[in-house]
Structure 1
Amino acid sequence: MKHITRPLPTITADNEEFWKSTKEHAAKLQRCNVCGRFWYYPGPVCHHCGARDYTWTALSGKGTIYSYSVLERAKGNPYENDVPIAIVLVRLEEGPVIMSNLFDYEAADLAIDSPVRMTYEDVDDRVTLPVFLPARA
């Protein structure tokens, strides 16, 4: 595992199952048993209908870039040792939008609606981050 200097998520009772699933390299999100929709960031109620009835459901790992930015300079902040870093908003095949990083990309891969696939960055004993790679044909 590499040393990461950027901020890491805080694991809480509401999101513990999500972080457990990423640790297992098999990300899950909550899917509402009332309206059928997935939501992100994990929480106690459906973001769409307010129901408290949900099931943790495996994700396909597929998505498309919804938006992106490339951080090239970060003097004096937690990302200083990680630049350049592509920060992406990915619309998952299941619907939610998740913020993450895109790795191993070429300039042409950074475009709205470009397909990506989820992989995992093992950070430490508690946190594995879901990250993305270009899904080239």
Structure 2
Amino acid sequence: MGDTSALDAQQSKLNAVLKLGGDPADLPFWDGCEVGQFMLHRCNVCQRAYWPASRCIEHGDESMVWVAASGRGTLHTYTIMHRAYIPSMKDKVPFVVGVVELEEGPFYHSNIIDCDHDSLRVGMKLMAKMALHESGLTVPMFVAV
């Protein structure tokens, strides 16, 4: 008999990703998050990195692999949310949603945490910090460096 607990865990993760509107092609990203590693989809021909899983605009999808990324980036833009648009966020306002330009090139949307809102600045250096989400997924959020 196979290891059904590992299969159940993977199915549970897939269900959580789908419930949040994610794509099964990104499961290696979520696997990486679970062990504290930010992953990007990269073309092995030109080294261009992508998020989410994609195909290289120059070389297609045959040379695409998931690779560990630095988890570092800069704040491209942000907004401070003062209203909870879904009930699960009611106790979390105000919170910051930012667009992070990753060191490897792609942009990633995430929460900026553990930072005084008045100190937020476009261009500030950030680092991914994994956090457990209510869905059961481990998700990258970003903190100031």
Instruction: Normalising by structure 1, report the TM-score.
Output: 0.81
Give the aligned partner of residue 98 of structure 2: 88
Among the aligned pairs, what percent are the same residue?
27
> What are the Cα deviations for residues 11-60 of structure 1, in whole angstroms up to 9, with x where unaligned?
543111001100111111111012210001123x22x3251111211111
TM-score calculated relative to the size of structure 2 = 0.77
Contact 1:74 1:83 in 2 (8 A): yes
Q: Select the residue among 25, 42, 66 that pairs with 1:14.
A: 25
Contact 1:109 1:134 in 2 (8 A): no
**Separation in structure 2 between the aligned mates of residue 12 and residue 76 of structure 1, nearest angstrom:** 21
* Alpha-carbon shift at residue 73 of structure 1 (Å): 1.9
C-alpha displacement of 1:76: 5.8
Query: Is the helix fraction higher in 1 or 2?
Result: 2
- Counterpart code for 1:27: F
Task: Name which structure has the greater RCO, CA cutoff 8 Å, separation 6+.
Answer: 1
Q: Tell me which structure has the larger Cα radius of gyration.
A: 2
**Equivalent residue runs for 1:1-137 within 5 Å:** 9-10=20-21, 12-43=23-54, 45-46=55-56, 48-49=57-58, 51-52=60-61, 53-74=63-84, 77-123=87-133, 126-135=136-145
Secondary structure of the structure 2 residue equivalent to 1:15: helix
Gaps of at least 5 residues in structure 2 are 1-18
Contact 1:34 1:51 in 2 (8 A): no
Q: Which amino acid aligns with 1:49?
A: E
Aligned CA RMSD, in angstroms, stands at: 2.1
1:95-116 alpha-carbon deviations (Å, 9 max, x no partner): 1000000111123431110001
Residue 72 of structure 1 deviates from its aligned partner by: 1.1
Mark the CA change 1:11 to 1:126 in structure 2 (over 3 Å): closer, same or farther: farther
